[in-house]
Structure 1
Amino acid sequence: MNRLHAVVYGRVQGVGYRAVVQKRAATLGVCGYVRNMPDGTVEIVAEGTEQVLIDLIDIANEGSGWCSVEKIDVAYSAAEGNLEDFSIAY
């Protein structure tokens, strides 16, 4: 298992982005969260297999119909095992 930390840049707040990512990520069986950051980016933290995390990045790139993803910074590390389901964090 791996841990993903991603920061999504672009028009990703106030456009339903987190809800779309949360709904689609939950179908992957990944654990983690998605949340808005004060600087206008969105943070995604998740744990799962390498393939599931790759699929999650694909979902993050697609986003919602109203968003515009400019780039995603991605970092991987060893899973910590302290995440449950996939939720929207506030």
Structure 2
Amino acid sequence: MQNYTSLPKIVRAHVFISGRVQGVGYRYSTVDTASQLGLTGWVRNLPDSRVEAVFEGAREVVDEMVRWCHSGPPAAVVQEVLVQYEEPEGLQRFQVKRVE
């Protein structure tokens, strides 16, 4: 019989980052960092100058990515990070998403 308690629980964090986060390479640094961590999801700039991102993966790894969002790439000045946990969608990769 398999022990399912050893399988990591997949979580989804929906994150909104505000501050000086556009025009500083935030989205592309997010893609690099999330991909290195093995997370799936997406990131995009919002018209109100925030960055929005979704991360799916094991809770510890998603939490690590959310911590990274508080600093971001070197040129960013992060003022606030809002996180909402949602049901995972089972995304397959990590990408930059266009604003709708």
TM-score by length of 2: 0.84
Q: How does 1:36-51 map to 2 (within 5 A)?
A: 36-51=45-60
Flag the structure with more relative contact order, 1 or 2, with Cα contacts below 8 A and sequence separation at least 6. 1
1:70 to 54, 64, 79: 79
Structure 1 residues 5-14 or 45-54, which shifts more? Answer: 45-54
Partners in 2 of 1:79 and 1:18 — Cα distance? 21
For residue 79 of structure 1, what is the aligned residue in structure 2?
88
Q: How many residues align?
A: 89
SS in 2 for 1:80: coil
Deviating above 6 A after TM superposition, structure 1's stretches of 4 or more consecutive aligned residues are: none
TM-score by length of 1: 0.93
1:15 to 24, 31, 37: 24
Deviation at 1:78, TM superposition (A): 2.0
Task: Give me the identity figure in percent.
Answer: 38
Structure 2 spans left out of the alignment, 5+ residues: 1-9
Give the greater-gyration-radius structure (CA): 2
Partners in 2 of 1:50 and 1:23 — Cα distance? 19
Deviation at 1:84, TM superposition (A): 1.9
For residue 30 of structure 1, what is the aligned residue in structure 2?
39
1:55 to 59, 64, 71: 64
Superposed CA RMSD in Å reads: 0.9
Deviations 1:21-76 (A, max 9, x none): 11011011100011000110000112111101101112212211111000100010
